[in-house]
Amino acid sequence: MNSPALCRILLVDDHPMMRRGIRQMLELEDDFEIVGEANHGEEALAMIEPLQPDLVLLDNNMPQMNGIETLRHLRNLSFSGKVLLFTVSDAEDDIRDALRLDADGYLLKDMEPELLVQYIRDAMDGTLVISPGLTQVMAQALRSPPRQPEVELTERERQVLKTIASGYSNKVIGHKLGITEGTVKVHVKNLLHKLGLRSRVEAAVWAMEHLRH
């Protein structure tokens, strides 16, 4: 009889006692192997390449880099494994952001241990797993528009945004601000990422709505 394929799991949570409890529980299963633990998102990202986990069990409320932002970076890195948010937050914004970033599941920490084990197996089989009781919240979250990002812009970024809103090209913006056209391109790319926007047009609209002085 063949042994079940091992699921290599990376635990990401800023509470050591929580990580220890999850590790002890999951290691009782023959098909789970805990290959690493991370205290926050940045630490987890550094572990992905050397550890090559099959699944990341990811807390959301962490210092330095929360779970949603960590998930965003994992997707940008083209991480091919599964990612489950495992958190105390049932906030609609968090659920929407997680699902729009292609999380493989959104689970609440108050669930029964046996259910977590089953959900991990289901996720590895390709099922989107959601905690019981979150179905209505999930449906509403997917119907709601994305929240406006709350960001702090540097003075230079504000200058670039204002000139974008005026319709200037990168070359003209560079001339006006005394920087190279290449530097302007970098600022524009960073701004679009920071604001969660897709184009200069969206950036111009955002600037007109938010930069009123």
Cβ neighbours of residue 200 closer than 8 Å, sequence gap 6 or more: 164, 188
Domain ranges of the chain: 7-143, 155-210
Whether pTM > 0.75 for this model: the answer is: no
Tell the CATH superfamily of the 7-143 domain. Response regulator (3.40.50.2300)
CB 54 within 8 A of CB 81: yes
> How confident is the model over 108-164, as pLDDT tens digits?
998 888 999 999 999 999 888 888 777 666 666 555 555 555 677 888 998 999 998
**HSE of 97, CA atoms in CB hemisphere, 13 A:** 19
CB 161 within 8 A of CB 211: yes
Please state which of the four CATH numbers 3.30.1320.10, 3.40.50.720, 3.10.450.30, 1.10.10.10 is assigned to the domain occupying 155-210.
1.10.10.10
H helix or E strand, kind and range, residue 44: helix 41-51
Residue 95 structure tokens: 């659920």
Q: Does residue 34 have a pLDDT over 80? A: yes
> How confident is the model over 75-91, as pLDDT tens digits?
888 898 999 999 998 88
Coil, helix or strand at residue 62: coil
Q: What percent of the chain has pLDDT over 70?
A: 89
Residue 111 structure tokens: 């669930």
